[in-house]
Chains A and B, each alone.
Chain A
Amino acid sequence: EAGVTQFPSHSVIEKGQTVTLRCDPISGHDNLYWYRRVMGKEIKFLLHFVKESKQDESGMPNNRFLAERTGGTYSTLKVQPAELEDSGVYFCASSQGLAALTDTQYFGPGTRLTVL
């Protein structure tokens, strides 16, 4: 079974540009989460989808970040315009959802974003 995949693995952009990160969850997983780690800080929650609906977006830093999950499959996280403080590693995780007795999250390898 394929795990969570993320694309790209690395992205280097200039301040003010737009970047779109993609996450493909494990097949059949209803829950999809985005987290990020900025340098020197702890991994922080950004938002949570249940299928195509945003369940919790309390961790989104500001309105420059837009997450979508059309059709309830893969998700994209767009940063527009990117700022220097957006640099970090963005992780995606997925979990089975309410059908599971306990809902373990499985993480992807992350996208390392560098804003110059």
Chain B
Amino acid sequence: DAKTTQPPSMDCAEGRAANLPCNHSTISGNEYVYWYRQIHSQGPQYIIHGLKNNETNEMASLIITEDRKSSTLILPHATLRDTAVYYCIATYTGANSKLTFGKGITLSVRP
């Protein structure tokens, strides 16, 4: 799996958009970009994933650059409950799809 790089932490104000960056410059053509988050010590929660195109679901939007070397997870209206560690993971899907978690980025949403 390609290595991903995320800043260690960031914060944002409640109600504002949180834009979480991720670099994956060595990603291969058939690796997907997945985002998970971990709130306190709960199990990692799936957020969104994408290959080339931008994606949106009820939780977030994922913007992938045209060269696929970086991406941004957007939480459009952050709430206090979004405070968590967010993991960006580049991975194949299929038979050998184990996830490689890094340190992630700690998002702190302030009131």
Interface residues of A (CB under 8 A from B): 4, 31, 33, 35, 42-45, 48, 50, 55-56, 59, 89, 91, 93, 95, 98, 100, 102-110, 112
Cα distance A45–B91 in the bound complex, in angstroms: 13
Residues A110 and B49 in contact, CB atoms below 8 Å apart: no
Q: Are A42 and B103 in contact (CB under 8 A)?
A: yes
Quick one: which of B34-67 are within 8 Å of A by CB? 34, 36, 41-46, 49
In the complex formed, the residue of B with least CB distance to A48 is B98
Q: Which residues of B contact A4 (CB under 8 A)?
A: 43
Please pick, from A104, A106, A112, the residue contacting B49 in the complex, using a CB distance under 8 A. Answer: A104
Q: Which of B45, B95, B100, B102 contacts A55 (CB under 8 A)?
A: B95
Are B45 and A107 in contact (CB-based, < 8 A)?
A: yes
Docked-complex contact B101 and A43, CB < 8 angstroms: yes
Q: Are B95 and A50 in contact (CB under 8 A)?
A: yes
Q: Interface size of B by Cβ–Cβ distance < 8 Å?
A: 21
B48 to chain A, nearest CB (A): 10
Name the residue in B43, B49, B93, B102 with the highest tally of chain A Cβ atoms < 10 Å from its Cβ.
Answer: B43
List of A residues within 8 angstroms of B41 by Cβ: 89, 110, 112
**Could you mark each residue 10-51 of chain B with 1 if its beta carbon is under 8 Å from any beta carbon of chain A, else 0?**
000000000000000000000010101000011111100100
A110 proximity list for chain B (CB < 8 A): 41-43
Residues of A within 8 A of B42 (CB): 109-110
Question: From residue A106, how far is it (CB to closest CB) to chain B in Å?
Answer: 6
Q: How far is the CB of B52 from chain A (nearest CB, A)?
A: 13
Complex: A82 Cα to B95 Cα, angstroms: 31
B3: shortest Cβ distance to chain A, in Å?
A: 13
Tell me, in angstroms, the Cα distance from A102 to B43 when the chains sit together: 21
Smallest CB separation, B60 vs chain A (Å): 14
Any chain A CB within 8 A of the CB of B99?
yes
